[in-house]
Chains A and B, each alone.
Chain A
Amino acid sequence: MAATFSFTLVTPTGMVAEGQAEEVSAIGPLGEFGVLPDHINFITSLVPGVLEARLPDGEAMHWVVSGGFAEVKDGVMTVLASSAESPESIDASAAAAQVRDADEKFSNLSFYDPDYAPAQEALMLARARVEAAALKPAPR
Protein backbone atom coordinates (compact mmCIF):
# COMPACT_ATOMS: atom_id res chain seq x y z
CA MET A 1 0.00 0.00 0.00
CA ALA A 2 1.51 3.25 -1.10
CA ALA A 3 1.71 6.19 1.26
CA THR A 4 -0.93 8.85 0.99
CA PHE A 5 -1.33 12.47 1.97
CA SER A 6 -4.40 14.57 2.60
CA PHE A 7 -5.68 16.66 -0.22
CA THR A 8 -8.41 19.30 -0.42
CA LEU A 9 -9.78 21.11 -3.42
CA VAL A 10 -11.66 24.31 -2.56
CA THR A 11 -13.28 26.96 -4.70
CA PRO A 12 -14.87 30.25 -3.60
CA THR A 13 -18.26 28.55 -3.73
CA GLY A 14 -17.30 25.67 -1.50
CA MET A 15 -15.29 22.58 -0.83
CA VAL A 16 -15.14 20.32 -3.89
CA ALA A 17 -13.09 17.39 -2.67
CA GLU A 18 -11.42 16.35 0.52
CA GLY A 19 -9.60 13.14 1.30
CA GLN A 20 -6.45 11.08 0.94
CA ALA A 21 -4.53 10.87 -2.31
CA GLU A 22 -1.46 8.98 -3.50
CA GLU A 23 -0.51 11.50 -6.10
CA VAL A 24 -1.92 14.78 -7.40
CA SER A 25 -0.85 16.34 -10.63
CA ALA A 26 -1.76 19.76 -11.97
CA ILE A 27 -0.47 22.36 -14.38
CA GLY A 28 1.47 25.38 -13.19
CA PRO A 29 3.03 28.23 -15.15
CA LEU A 30 6.22 26.15 -15.52
CA GLY A 31 4.39 23.08 -16.73
CA GLU A 32 2.83 20.02 -15.22
CA PHE A 33 3.90 19.03 -11.74
CA GLY A 34 3.11 16.15 -9.46
CA VAL A 35 2.84 16.00 -5.72
CA LEU A 36 3.66 12.86 -3.79
CA PRO A 37 3.62 12.28 -0.05
CA ASP A 38 6.29 14.19 1.94
CA HIS A 39 6.54 16.93 -0.62
CA ILE A 40 8.43 20.04 0.45
CA ASN A 41 6.34 23.08 1.48
CA PHE A 42 5.42 24.58 -1.80
CA ILE A 43 3.24 27.24 -3.40
CA THR A 44 2.52 27.73 -7.05
CA SER A 45 -0.09 29.36 -9.18
CA LEU A 46 -2.14 27.21 -11.53
CA VAL A 47 -2.97 27.75 -15.15
CA PRO A 48 -6.21 26.43 -16.68
CA GLY A 49 -5.87 22.70 -17.07
CA VAL A 50 -6.85 19.28 -15.82
CA LEU A 51 -6.13 18.41 -12.22
CA GLU A 52 -5.75 14.74 -11.45
CA ALA A 53 -5.87 13.10 -8.06
CA ARG A 54 -4.95 9.43 -7.76
CA LEU A 55 -6.79 7.91 -4.85
CA PRO A 56 -5.49 5.12 -2.60
CA ASP A 57 -7.85 2.58 -4.23
CA GLY A 58 -6.24 3.18 -7.61
CA GLU A 59 -9.03 5.32 -8.99
CA ALA A 60 -8.27 8.70 -10.46
CA MET A 61 -10.44 11.77 -10.19
CA HIS A 62 -10.26 14.70 -12.57
CA TRP A 63 -11.38 18.28 -12.54
CA VAL A 64 -10.97 21.16 -14.94
CA VAL A 65 -9.60 24.08 -12.96
CA SER A 66 -9.57 27.57 -14.43
CA GLY A 67 -6.65 28.89 -12.41
CA GLY A 68 -5.82 29.52 -8.80
CA PHE A 69 -3.12 28.24 -6.46
CA ALA A 70 -1.78 25.05 -5.04
CA GLU A 71 -0.18 24.91 -1.64
CA VAL A 72 1.61 22.08 0.10
CA LYS A 73 2.20 22.67 3.77
CA ASP A 74 3.45 20.04 6.20
CA GLY A 75 2.39 17.27 3.86
CA VAL A 76 -1.13 18.63 3.36
CA MET A 77 -2.05 19.79 -0.10
CA THR A 78 -4.64 22.50 -0.63
CA VAL A 79 -5.70 23.49 -4.11
CA LEU A 80 -7.41 26.86 -4.29
CA ALA A 81 -9.10 26.84 -7.67
CA SER A 82 -11.07 29.75 -9.09
CA SER A 83 -13.48 27.13 -10.35
CA ALA A 84 -13.50 23.35 -10.65
CA GLU A 85 -15.66 21.34 -13.04
CA SER A 86 -15.99 17.60 -13.03
CA PRO A 87 -15.73 15.80 -16.38
CA GLU A 88 -19.34 14.61 -15.98
CA SER A 89 -20.57 18.19 -16.18
CA ILE A 90 -18.79 18.96 -19.43
CA ASP A 91 -20.53 18.89 -22.77
CA ALA A 92 -17.93 17.55 -25.21
CA SER A 93 -19.35 19.13 -28.35
CA ALA A 94 -19.79 22.52 -26.65
CA ALA A 95 -16.19 22.30 -25.43
CA ALA A 96 -14.97 21.54 -28.94
CA ALA A 97 -16.84 24.57 -30.23
CA GLN A 98 -15.27 26.67 -27.48
CA VAL A 99 -11.82 25.58 -28.57
CA ARG A 100 -12.56 26.61 -32.16
CA ASP A 101 -13.84 30.04 -31.08
CA ALA A 102 -11.05 30.65 -28.60
CA ASP A 103 -8.43 29.48 -31.07
CA GLU A 104 -9.70 31.78 -33.76
CA LYS A 105 -9.76 34.75 -31.39
CA PHE A 106 -6.35 33.97 -29.97
CA SER A 107 -4.56 33.44 -33.27
CA ASN A 108 -5.73 36.85 -34.51
CA LEU A 109 -4.25 38.71 -31.55
CA SER A 110 -0.85 40.28 -31.32
CA PHE A 111 1.29 39.52 -28.28
CA TYR A 112 1.05 43.16 -27.22
CA ASP A 113 -2.72 43.26 -27.27
CA PRO A 114 -4.15 43.63 -23.76
CA ASP A 115 -6.55 40.80 -24.60
CA TYR A 116 -3.70 38.42 -25.37
CA ALA A 117 -3.39 36.85 -21.93
CA PRO A 118 -7.15 36.46 -21.32
CA ALA A 119 -7.58 34.93 -24.78
CA GLN A 120 -4.72 32.53 -24.15
CA GLU A 121 -6.30 31.52 -20.84
CA ALA A 122 -9.68 31.02 -22.50
CA LEU A 123 -8.08 28.77 -25.08
CA MET A 124 -6.26 26.74 -22.44
CA LEU A 125 -9.45 26.37 -20.44
CA ALA A 126 -11.39 25.24 -23.51
CA ARG A 127 -8.67 22.71 -24.38
CA ALA A 128 -8.67 21.41 -20.82
CA ARG A 129 -12.44 20.91 -21.07
CA VAL A 130 -12.05 18.87 -24.24
CA GLU A 131 -9.32 16.83 -22.59
CA ALA A 132 -11.48 16.22 -19.53
CA ALA A 133 -14.53 15.37 -21.62
CA ALA A 134 -12.49 12.63 -23.28
CA LEU A 135 -11.84 11.21 -19.82
CA LYS A 136 -15.53 10.99 -19.09
CA PRO A 137 -15.95 7.22 -19.11
CA ALA A 138 -13.08 7.12 -16.63
CA PRO A 139 -13.20 4.21 -14.19
CA ARG A 140 -15.10 5.30 -11.13
Chain B
Amino acid sequence: MASLKAIRRRIASAKSTQQITRALKLVSAARLRRAQEALANSLPYSEALARVADSLLTSEGISVGPVEGAQKRSMLVVVASDRGLAGGYNSYLFRAAEAARREIRGAGFEIELFAVGKKAVDHFKRSGVPVALSRVDNLPRLATIALARDIAARMLADYSSGAIDEAGIVYTHFQSAVTQKAVYERLLPVKPPGDAGIQDGASVDGAMPKTGAPKIDYLVEPSRAELAPVVLRGYLEAAVYHALLEAEASEQGARMTAMDSATNNAIEMISSLTLEMNRARQAQITRELMDIVGGAEALR
Protein backbone atom coordinates (compact mmCIF):
# COMPACT_ATOMS: atom_id res chain seq x y z
CA MET B 1 0.00 0.00 0.00
CA ALA B 2 1.25 3.45 -0.90
CA SER B 3 2.47 5.59 1.92
CA LEU B 4 0.07 8.02 3.56
CA LYS B 5 2.09 10.96 2.37
CA ALA B 6 2.05 9.81 -1.28
CA ILE B 7 -1.72 9.35 -1.21
CA ARG B 8 -2.23 12.79 0.30
CA ARG B 9 -0.11 14.26 -2.46
CA ARG B 10 -2.19 12.51 -5.12
CA ILE B 11 -5.41 13.77 -3.59
CA ALA B 12 -4.11 17.32 -3.62
CA SER B 13 -3.17 17.00 -7.28
CA ALA B 14 -6.55 15.52 -8.24
CA LYS B 15 -8.23 18.38 -6.37
CA SER B 16 -6.36 21.04 -8.27
CA THR B 17 -7.04 19.27 -11.58
CA GLN B 18 -10.70 19.19 -10.69
CA GLN B 19 -10.64 22.91 -9.95
CA ILE B 20 -9.16 23.63 -13.36
CA THR B 21 -11.54 21.39 -15.28
CA ARG B 22 -14.51 22.78 -13.44
CA ALA B 23 -13.46 26.34 -14.25
CA LEU B 24 -12.95 25.41 -17.91
CA LYS B 25 -16.35 23.79 -17.97
CA LEU B 26 -18.00 26.94 -16.63
CA VAL B 27 -16.15 29.10 -19.14
CA SER B 28 -17.19 26.95 -22.08
CA ALA B 29 -20.75 26.76 -20.83
CA ALA B 30 -20.91 30.56 -20.90
CA ARG B 31 -19.29 30.66 -24.34
CA LEU B 32 -21.64 28.00 -25.60
CA ARG B 33 -24.60 30.07 -24.54
CA ARG B 34 -23.17 33.07 -26.36
CA ALA B 35 -22.47 31.03 -29.48
CA GLN B 36 -25.98 29.61 -29.49
CA GLU B 37 -27.40 33.10 -29.17
CA ALA B 38 -25.30 34.28 -32.09
CA LEU B 39 -26.50 31.29 -34.08
CA ALA B 40 -30.11 32.15 -33.38
CA ASN B 41 -29.50 35.83 -34.13
CA SER B 42 -28.07 35.04 -37.55
CA LEU B 43 -31.16 33.12 -38.61
CA PRO B 44 -33.44 35.99 -39.77
CA TYR B 45 -30.64 37.29 -41.97
CA SER B 46 -29.84 33.96 -43.58
CA GLU B 47 -33.51 33.21 -44.14
CA ALA B 48 -34.14 36.52 -45.87
CA LEU B 49 -30.95 36.20 -47.85
CA ALA B 50 -31.79 32.67 -48.96
CA ARG B 51 -35.10 33.98 -50.31
CA VAL B 52 -33.35 36.72 -52.27
CA ALA B 53 -30.63 34.36 -53.48
CA ASP B 54 -33.19 31.77 -54.54
CA SER B 55 -35.02 34.13 -56.78
CA LEU B 56 -31.93 35.76 -58.24
CA LEU B 57 -29.16 33.22 -58.53
CA THR B 58 -31.26 30.62 -60.20
CA SER B 59 -33.13 32.74 -62.69
CA GLU B 60 -32.44 31.88 -66.27
CA GLY B 61 -29.72 33.63 -68.12
CA ILE B 62 -27.68 34.45 -65.04
CA SER B 63 -24.61 32.36 -64.88
CA VAL B 64 -23.00 31.99 -61.52
CA GLY B 65 -21.46 28.69 -62.50
CA PRO B 66 -17.74 28.14 -62.76
CA VAL B 67 -15.78 30.06 -65.33
CA GLU B 68 -15.38 28.20 -68.56
CA GLY B 69 -12.13 26.30 -68.73
CA ALA B 70 -11.71 26.42 -64.96
CA GLN B 71 -9.23 24.00 -63.53
CA LYS B 72 -10.58 20.91 -61.90
CA ARG B 73 -9.64 22.10 -58.45
CA SER B 74 -11.73 22.25 -55.34
CA MET B 75 -11.16 24.51 -52.37
CA LEU B 76 -11.77 22.73 -49.10
CA VAL B 77 -12.06 24.86 -45.98
CA VAL B 78 -11.54 22.91 -42.76
CA VAL B 79 -12.76 24.68 -39.62
CA ALA B 80 -11.11 23.33 -36.47
CA SER B 81 -10.39 24.93 -33.11
CA ASP B 82 -7.37 26.85 -31.90
CA ARG B 83 -7.24 25.08 -28.57
CA GLY B 84 -7.47 21.50 -27.43
CA LEU B 85 -9.14 20.03 -24.34
CA ALA B 86 -12.33 19.59 -26.30
CA GLY B 87 -12.61 15.81 -26.22
CA GLY B 88 -12.91 14.23 -29.63
CA TYR B 89 -14.02 17.44 -31.32
CA ASN B 90 -11.02 17.90 -33.59
CA SER B 91 -10.37 14.23 -34.32
CA TYR B 92 -13.97 13.69 -35.46
CA LEU B 93 -13.67 16.74 -37.63
CA PHE B 94 -10.42 15.56 -39.24
CA ARG B 95 -11.97 12.18 -39.93
CA ALA B 96 -14.79 13.94 -41.79
CA ALA B 97 -12.22 16.09 -43.59
CA GLU B 98 -10.33 12.99 -44.73
CA ALA B 99 -13.57 11.45 -45.99
CA ALA B 100 -14.39 14.65 -47.88
CA ARG B 101 -10.92 14.74 -49.40
CA ARG B 102 -11.22 11.15 -50.58
CA GLU B 103 -14.61 11.85 -52.08
CA ILE B 104 -13.47 15.01 -53.86
CA ARG B 105 -10.36 13.33 -55.17
CA GLY B 106 -12.48 10.39 -56.29
CA ALA B 107 -14.51 12.81 -58.39
CA GLY B 108 -11.33 13.82 -60.16
CA PHE B 109 -10.62 17.14 -58.45
CA GLU B 110 -7.37 18.43 -57.15
CA ILE B 111 -7.69 19.85 -53.66
CA GLU B 112 -6.70 23.23 -52.34
CA LEU B 113 -6.83 23.08 -48.57
CA PHE B 114 -7.72 26.08 -46.45
CA ALA B 115 -7.00 25.29 -42.80
CA VAL B 116 -8.80 27.43 -40.22
CA GLY B 117 -7.67 27.12 -36.60
CA LYS B 118 -4.36 26.13 -35.07
CA LYS B 119 -5.38 22.50 -34.64
CA ALA B 120 -6.17 22.15 -38.35
CA VAL B 121 -2.81 23.65 -39.34
CA ASP B 122 -1.00 21.31 -36.92
CA HIS B 123 -2.95 18.28 -38.08
CA PHE B 124 -2.17 18.73 -41.75
CA LYS B 125 1.45 19.55 -41.02
CA ARG B 126 1.77 16.34 -39.01
CA SER B 127 0.12 14.21 -41.65
CA GLY B 128 2.22 15.80 -44.39
CA VAL B 129 -0.69 17.20 -46.40
CA PRO B 130 0.18 20.44 -48.18
CA VAL B 131 -2.01 23.34 -47.05
CA ALA B 132 -2.54 26.12 -49.56
CA LEU B 133 -3.95 28.66 -47.12
CA SER B 134 -4.26 28.86 -43.39
CA ARG B 135 -5.74 31.20 -40.90
CA VAL B 136 -5.19 31.23 -37.14
CA ASP B 137 -6.92 34.11 -35.38
CA ASN B 138 -6.59 32.76 -31.86
CA LEU B 139 -9.37 35.02 -30.64
CA PRO B 140 -11.78 34.07 -27.89
CA ARG B 141 -14.46 33.89 -30.59
CA LEU B 142 -14.01 31.83 -33.71
CA ALA B 143 -17.00 33.06 -35.68
CA THR B 144 -16.24 36.64 -36.62
CA ILE B 145 -17.75 38.39 -39.58
CA ALA B 146 -14.30 39.47 -40.66
CA LEU B 147 -13.12 35.85 -40.86
CA ALA B 148 -16.23 34.78 -42.78
CA ARG B 149 -15.76 37.67 -45.17
CA ASP B 150 -12.12 36.80 -45.78
CA ILE B 151 -12.86 33.15 -46.46
CA ALA B 152 -15.75 34.00 -48.78
CA ALA B 153 -13.67 36.63 -50.59
CA ARG B 154 -10.89 34.13 -51.14
CA MET B 155 -13.31 31.52 -52.48
CA LEU B 156 -14.93 33.99 -54.84
CA ALA B 157 -11.64 35.40 -56.09
CA ASP B 158 -10.36 31.94 -57.02
CA TYR B 159 -13.74 30.91 -58.35
CA SER B 160 -14.12 33.84 -60.68
CA SER B 161 -10.51 33.66 -61.85
CA GLY B 162 -10.97 30.01 -62.77
CA ALA B 163 -8.40 28.70 -60.29
CA ILE B 164 -11.07 26.51 -58.72
CA ASP B 165 -14.44 25.35 -59.93
CA GLU B 166 -15.81 24.07 -56.67
CA ALA B 167 -15.59 25.08 -53.03
CA GLY B 168 -16.77 23.45 -49.85
CA ILE B 169 -16.39 23.64 -46.12
CA VAL B 170 -15.93 20.99 -43.44
CA TYR B 171 -17.26 22.04 -40.06
CA THR B 172 -19.05 20.57 -37.08
CA HIS B 173 -22.78 20.84 -37.11
CA PHE B 174 -24.17 21.65 -33.68
CA GLN B 175 -27.04 19.47 -32.55
CA SER B 176 -26.70 19.73 -28.78
CA ALA B 177 -23.96 20.15 -26.21
CA VAL B 178 -23.40 16.39 -26.29
CA THR B 179 -24.02 15.58 -29.95
CA GLN B 180 -22.23 17.23 -32.78
CA LYS B 181 -21.70 16.00 -36.26
CA ALA B 182 -18.85 16.88 -38.58
CA VAL B 183 -20.21 17.56 -42.05
CA TYR B 184 -19.00 18.55 -45.49
CA GLU B 185 -21.05 21.17 -47.27
CA ARG B 186 -20.47 22.27 -50.83
CA LEU B 187 -20.98 26.00 -51.25
CA LEU B 188 -19.92 26.60 -54.84
CA PRO B 189 -21.28 26.19 -57.43
CA VAL B 190 -24.63 27.21 -55.98
CA LYS B 191 -27.25 24.55 -56.48
CA PRO B 192 -30.73 25.47 -57.58
CA PRO B 193 -33.29 25.46 -54.79
CA GLY B 194 -35.41 22.40 -54.32
CA ASP B 195 -32.30 20.36 -54.92
CA ALA B 196 -31.65 19.17 -51.40
CA GLY B 197 -28.12 18.12 -52.27
CA ILE B 198 -26.48 21.32 -51.05
CA GLN B 199 -25.13 19.37 -48.15
CA ASP B 200 -23.43 16.08 -48.67
CA GLY B 201 -23.62 15.09 -45.03
CA ALA B 202 -26.47 13.01 -43.74
CA SER B 203 -28.25 15.82 -41.95
CA VAL B 204 -29.87 18.42 -44.12
CA ASP B 205 -31.19 20.81 -41.51
CA GLY B 206 -27.77 22.37 -41.07
CA ALA B 207 -27.71 23.79 -44.57
CA MET B 208 -28.68 27.35 -45.31
CA PRO B 209 -32.42 27.51 -44.97
CA LYS B 210 -33.95 27.10 -48.37
CA THR B 211 -37.42 28.30 -49.01
CA GLY B 212 -39.47 26.15 -51.27
CA ALA B 213 -41.83 29.01 -52.09
CA PRO B 214 -42.67 29.71 -55.72
CA LYS B 215 -40.53 32.27 -57.42
CA ILE B 216 -41.54 35.90 -56.94
CA ASP B 217 -41.35 38.42 -59.70
CA TYR B 218 -39.19 41.31 -58.65
CA LEU B 219 -38.21 44.60 -60.05
CA VAL B 220 -34.45 44.37 -59.83
CA GLU B 221 -32.03 47.25 -59.63
CA PRO B 222 -29.51 47.83 -61.19
CA SER B 223 -30.06 44.62 -63.21
CA ARG B 224 -30.17 40.92 -62.52
CA ALA B 225 -26.82 40.40 -64.18
CA GLU B 226 -25.19 43.09 -62.07
CA LEU B 227 -26.88 42.12 -58.87
CA ALA B 228 -26.17 38.39 -59.09
CA PRO B 229 -22.46 38.61 -58.11
CA VAL B 230 -23.33 40.87 -55.18
CA VAL B 231 -25.99 38.46 -53.97
CA LEU B 232 -23.63 35.54 -54.50
CA ARG B 233 -21.03 37.22 -52.32
CA GLY B 234 -23.57 37.96 -49.62
CA TYR B 235 -24.90 34.44 -49.79
CA LEU B 236 -21.44 32.92 -49.53
CA GLU B 237 -20.48 35.18 -46.64
CA ALA B 238 -23.63 34.22 -44.79
CA ALA B 239 -23.09 30.51 -45.47
CA VAL B 240 -19.50 30.64 -44.23
CA TYR B 241 -20.52 32.69 -41.20
CA HIS B 242 -23.22 30.16 -40.42
CA ALA B 243 -20.67 27.32 -40.63
CA LEU B 244 -18.31 29.22 -38.33
CA LEU B 245 -21.09 29.81 -35.82
CA GLU B 246 -22.01 26.13 -35.85
CA ALA B 247 -18.36 25.21 -35.41
CA GLU B 248 -17.96 27.62 -32.53
CA ALA B 249 -21.02 26.31 -30.73
CA SER B 250 -19.89 22.72 -31.32
CA GLU B 251 -16.40 23.41 -30.04
CA GLN B 252 -17.69 24.95 -26.84
CA GLY B 253 -20.24 22.18 -26.42
CA ALA B 254 -17.60 19.51 -26.91
CA ARG B 255 -15.29 21.23 -24.46
CA MET B 256 -18.02 21.62 -21.90
CA THR B 257 -18.90 17.92 -22.11
CA ALA B 258 -15.26 16.86 -21.99
CA MET B 259 -14.53 19.07 -18.99
CA ASP B 260 -17.68 17.88 -17.24
CA SER B 261 -16.61 14.26 -17.49
CA ALA B 262 -13.05 15.20 -16.49
CA THR B 263 -14.45 16.90 -13.40
CA ASN B 264 -16.53 13.84 -12.58
CA ASN B 265 -13.52 11.58 -13.03
CA ALA B 266 -11.53 13.77 -10.68
CA ILE B 267 -14.30 13.63 -8.08
CA GLU B 268 -14.41 9.86 -8.35
CA MET B 269 -10.66 9.64 -8.07
CA ILE B 270 -10.61 11.88 -5.02
CA SER B 271 -13.20 9.76 -3.25
CA SER B 272 -11.41 6.48 -3.95
CA LEU B 273 -8.09 8.01 -2.92
CA THR B 274 -9.67 9.35 0.25
CA LEU B 275 -10.90 5.87 1.07
CA GLU B 276 -7.45 4.48 0.45
CA MET B 277 -5.94 7.21 2.60
CA ASN B 278 -8.28 6.45 5.50
CA ARG B 279 -7.42 2.77 5.27
CA ALA B 280 -3.74 3.54 5.25
CA ARG B 281 -4.10 5.82 8.26
CA GLN B 282 -6.13 3.23 10.13
CA ALA B 283 -3.52 0.58 9.33
CA GLN B 284 -0.80 2.86 10.63
CA ILE B 285 -2.67 3.50 13.86
CA THR B 286 -3.27 -0.21 14.34
CA ARG B 287 0.39 -0.91 13.74
CA GLU B 288 1.43 1.70 16.28
CA LEU B 289 -1.03 0.34 18.84
CA MET B 290 0.31 -3.18 18.31
CA ASP B 291 3.82 -1.83 18.89
CA ILE B 292 2.79 -0.20 22.15
CA VAL B 293 0.90 -3.22 23.37
CA GLY B 294 3.78 -5.47 22.32
CA GLY B 295 6.25 -3.24 24.21
CA ALA B 296 4.09 -3.21 27.35
CA GLU B 297 3.76 -6.99 27.21
CA ALA B 298 7.54 -7.37 26.96
CA LEU B 299 8.10 -5.19 30.05
CA ARG B 300 5.79 -7.24 32.20
Contact between chains at A12 and B42 (CB < 8 Å): yes
Within 8 A of B (CB), among A47-71: 68-69, 71
Contact B38 A73 (CB under 8 A): no
In residues 1-45 of chain A, which contact B (Cβ within 8 Å)? 8, 10-15, 28-30, 33, 40-45
Structural contact, A41 and B42, CB atoms closer than 8 A:
no
Contact B45 A10 (CB under 8 A): yes
Known: A69-B52, A71-B51. A30 touches B222 (CB 8 A): yes
Task: Answer whether residue A86 sits at the interface, using C-beta atoms and an 8 A cutoff.
Answer: no
A71–B48 CB distance below 8 A: yes
A14-B41, A71-B51, A71-B52 as given contacts; A42 in contact with B221, CB under 8 Å: yes
Q: B217 interface residue, CB < 8 Å from A? A: yes
CB neighbours (8 Å) of A80 from chain B are 45, 48-49, 52, 234
Residue of B42, B221, B230 touching A13 (CB-CB under 8 A): B42
**Residue among B44, B216, B234 making CB contact with A68, cutoff 8 Å:** B234
Chain B min CB distance to A40 (Å): 5
Q: Is B41's CB under 8 angstroms from A13's CB? A: yes
Q: For the complex, what is the distance from the CA of A66 to the CA of B42, rounded to whole Å?
A: 17
Which positions 117-137 of chain A face chain B at CB distance < 8 Å?
none
Can you list, as one digit per residue, whether each of A64-90 has a CB less than 8 Å from chain B (1) or not (0)? Answer: 000011010100001010110000000
Number of chain A interface residues as a range: 20 to 34
B299 within 8 A of A: no
Q: Across the interface, do B52 and A30 meet the contact criterion of CB distance under 8 Å?
A: no
Interface of A, secondary structure class, is strand
- The answer to whether B56 and A43 have CB atoms under 8 Å apart is yes
Q: If the complex has contacts A42-B219, A80-B234, are A15 and B44 also in contact, measured as CB distance less than 8 A? A: yes
Interface residues on B, range: 20 to 34
**A41→B55 CA distance, assembly (Å):** 12
The answer to whether B238 has its CB under 8 Å from any CB of chain A is: yes
A67 to chain B, nearest CB (A): 8
Q: Is the CB of B219 within 8 A of A40?
A: yes
Which of chain B's residues have a CB closer than 8 A to the CB of A30?
A: 221-222
B70 at interface by CB-CB < 8 Å: no
* Contact indicator A41/B217 (Cβ below 8 Å): yes
Indicate which residue in A29, A42, A78 contacts B48 across the interface (CB closer than 8 Å). A78
Q: Complex: how many Å from CA A69 to CA B229?
A: 12
Instruction: Compute how far the CA of A69 lies from the CA of B42 in the bound complex, rounded to whole angstroms.
Output: 16
Nearest chain A residue, comparing its CB with the CB of B220:
A43
Contact call B221/A44, Cβ cutoff below 8 A: yes
Chain B: CB-nearest residue to A8: B44
Chain A positions within 8 Å of B231 at CB level: 45, 69
- Inside 8 A of A13's CB, which chain B residues have their CB? 38, 41-42, 145
- B-chain residues with CB within 8 Å of residue A41 when the two chains form the complex: 216-219
CB of B114 within 8 A of chain A? no
A110 CB to nearest chain B CB (Å):
20
Name the A residues within 8 Å of B237 (CB-CB).
12, 82
Nearest chain B CB to A11's CB is how many angstroms away?
6
Query: Among the listed B38, B218, B222, which residue makes an inter-chain contact with A29, where contact means beta carbons less than 8 Å apart?
Result: B222
Asked if A12 contacts B238 (CB within 8 A), the reply is yes
A residues adjacent to B (C-beta < 8 A): 8, 10-15, 28-30, 33, 40-45, 68-69, 71, 73, 78, 80, 82-83
Other A-B pairs beyond A30-B222, A43-B56, A73-B216, 6, CB < 8 Å: A10-B45, A29-B221, A41-B217, A43-B227, A45-B221, A45-B231
Query: Could you name 30 residue pairs across A and B whose Cβ atoms are closer than 8 Å?
Result: A8-B48, A10-B44, A10-B45, A10-B48, A12-B46, A12-B145, A12-B237, A13-B41, A13-B145, A14-B41, A14-B42, A14-B45, A28-B222, A29-B221, A30-B221, A41-B217, A41-B218, A42-B220, A42-B221, A43-B227, A44-B220, A45-B230, A68-B234, A69-B230, A69-B231, A69-B234, A71-B48, A73-B51, A80-B45, A80-B52
